[in-house]
Structure 1
Amino acid sequence: MNYKCIVIDDETLAIDVLVDYIGKFPVLELVGTFDSPLKSMNTILTNSLDLIFLDINMPDINGISFYENLPIKPKVIFTTAYSDFAVKGFEINAIDYLVKPISFERFFMAVNKLMANGAHLPVAQASPMNFSFNESQDYIFVRAEYASIKINLKDIVILEGYKDYVKIHLVDEPKPILTLSSIKHYETSLFSKGFVRVHKRHIISVDKIENISRNRVKMKTKEEFILIGNSYKDFFYELVVNNKI
């Protein structure tokens, strides 16, 4: 089943982020984007939409008021930079309420809630430069030191982002592999292979977790703790600790 959806937000950057995330889900069909709720009315009334990604704080009309007064009500996921409207959002049976900046993991959780039977939505695989991977592989190739280096996924403990570089920390290897890439490049492709992003700088192997304490993760073979960022915390605990996803 495909879900027809639109994005309504008065911020161009926020629209771009959601369009990028939506493109990773083959079952989501993006019908259009709008910088004003009023501009979206004709599309909502004539396209049998399944879902609206709807900002709340907009100049023309408040997103919640707009949704409450729609004659036709698709399912809705509210997005906003403020958490004050969360209770009201859930009172009108919103699928979810996403606080900006929206991480991919949090977006993934929200879209999964569309499925009444709890099934997961397939995520399209990314294929960034310096990264070779597909579903059947248990390894990746990365470009480092003028060569393409093969790395077994089971040997990866942490991926650590530094602007345009990523350090890949391996089991029993004191020196990480440094590759010219972005941490975001690895986020989607490695998710289905036992890795999860816990911070804007860190992706970790779930299998290599030793313990979790006070929003910090202790990894096997590593002395230091990895901080779980606030925007990643809910998804991490639902996925890894509570096993609900």
Structure 2
Amino acid sequence: MNYKCIVIDDEALAVDVVEDYISKFPNLELIGTFDSPLKAMNTILTQSVDLLFLDINMPDINGISFYENLPVKPKVIFTTAYSDFAVKGFEINAIDYLVKPFSFERFFMAVNKLMAAGINMPISQISSSNFTLNDSQDYIFVKSEYSSIKINLKDIVVLESYKDYVKIHLLNESKPILTLSSIKHYETSLFSKGFVRVHKRHIISIDKIENISRNRVKMKTKEEFIIIGASYKEFFYELVVNKNL
């Protein structure tokens, strides 16, 4: 099932960014982009729109005022360059409030909140340029040298980018498996299986974390700490730490 969404923003570059992010979700269907809320009215009122990505500061009408006065209210994620409206945005039950410029990881987190809002969107259906895992799949096959090796997800501790390869570090194995691939190929497909990217070089198993200290993560079987990259920090702490405090 696809969920129909529209983007309303008077900045063409901002529209392009959101449109690109939306394209990574196979069950998000972009049915229109508009540089003015008023131009979007007919689509909202005559089509089954499930989600708005709505800017706030626009020339003709404030995005929050526009949304409050809609006779039909789809779910909404506000996007803006200003944080002043955050409280007001959540007062009207917005799914999330994204402050520009926002990363794909932050956008992903906002879309993921749709599930809590009653729109069922399995994370495992998010697209990957390499592969996707179904809900019950608990293993992957990787090519290493001349073999295809089956790896149980529960055995993976860290995936590490290494030039044109990925090193897959396993429990109880001193030598990682080396596969010709990009770490980006694993990022979204493994997210729903308890893995999260913490650095441009590392994806880790949340279950294998031993401790977190000063923006570093200590993993089982690995002596050295893994740095949490600045661009991944907010997403990591929101996903792994803050909700469990």
Bin of the TM-score, shorter chain as denominator length? 0.7 to 0.9
Residue deviations 1:8-49 (CA, integer Å, cap 9, x gap) = 2422531333322442xx4x4543233443432221222242
CA deviation string 1:58-113 (max 9, x = no partner): 57665445435545443310123554443343344322112333334x33442344
Residues 58 and 125 of structure 1: CA distance in aligned 2, closer, same or farther (over 3 Å): same
Report if aligned partners of 2:114, 2:120 keep a CA contact under 8 Å in 1.
Answer: no
Q: 8 Å contact 1:103–1:231 — kept in the other structure? A: no
In 2: Cα distance, 1:59 partner to 1:184 partner: 38
Residue 181 of structure 2: aligned partner: 180
Give the counterpart letter for 2:16 in structure 1: L
- 8 Å CA contact 1:126–1:185 kept in 2: the answer is no
Which residue is 2:218 aligned to? Answer: 218
Q: Which runs of 5+ in 2 are unaligned?
A: none
Residue 241 of structure 1 aligns with which residue? Answer: 241
Percent identity reads 75
1:132 touches 1:141 (CA, 8 Å); kept in 2? Answer: no
> In 2 relative to 1, CA 137–115 (structure 1 residues): closer, same or farther, beyond 3 Å?
closer
Asked if 2 retains the 8 angstrom alpha-carbon contact of 1:112 and 1:119, the reply is no
The separation in 1 between residues aligned to 2:200 and 2:189, in whole angstroms, is 16
Partner of 1:31: 31
Secondary structure of 1:148's aligned partner = strand
Residue pairs, 1:53-202, within 5 angstroms: 53-56=53-56, 63-64=63-64, 66-68=66-68, 70=70, 72-99=72-99, 100-104=101-105, 106-115=106-115, 121-123=121-123, 124=125, 126=127, 128-129=129-130, 131=131, 133-145=133-145, 147-161=147-161, 165-171=165-171, 172-175=173-176, 177-181=178-182, 183-202=183-202
Alignment check: 8 A CA contact 1:6 1:51 kept: yes
CA spacing shift, 1:75–1:158, aligned 2, 3 Å:
same
Name the CA distance, whole Å, in 2 between partners of 1:146 and 1:175. Answer: 16
The C-alpha deviation readout for 1:163-191, integer Å capped at 9, x for no partner, is 7643323332345514222x332122212
Q: Is the 8 A contact 1:103 1:232 kept in 2?
A: no
Distance 1:13 1:144 in 2: 38
Aligned mates of 2:43, 2:189 — CA distance in 1: 33
Partner residue, 2:18: 15
User: Alpha-carbon deviation of 1:148?
Assistant: 3.2
Q: Is the 8 A contact 2:216 2:226 kept in 1?
A: yes
Deviation at 1:235, TM superposition (A): 4.2
Residues 140/88 of structure 1: CA separation in 2 closer, same or farther (3 Å cut): same
Cα distance in 2 for residues equivalent to 1:144 and 1:60: 57
Q: How far has the Cα of 1:162 moved from its partner? A: 5.8
1:141 deviates by 1.9
Contact 2:128 2:188 in 1 (8 A): no
Task: Confirm or deny: 8 A CA contact 2:19 2:30 kept in the other structure.
Answer: no
**2-structure distance, mates of 1:164, 1:8:** 39
Q: Counterpart amino acid of 2:75?
A: K
Report the number of matched residues. Answer: 238
Please tell me the root mean square deviation across aligned C-alpha atoms, in Å.
Answer: 3.5
The amino acid of 2:102's aligned partner reads P
Shift in Å, 1:134:
4.0
Give the Å deviation of 1:2: 6.5
**8 Å CA contact retained: 2:132, 2:189:** no
Report how far residue 127 of structure 1 moved: 5.3
TM-score for both structures, normalised by structure 2: 0.75
Matched to 1:214, the amino acid is R
The structure-2 alpha-carbon separation of the partners of 1:186 and 1:53, relative to structure 1 and needing over 3 Å to count, comes to same
CA contact (8 A) 1:167 1:179 kept: no
For structure 1, the residue ranges without an aligned partner over 5 or more in a row are: none
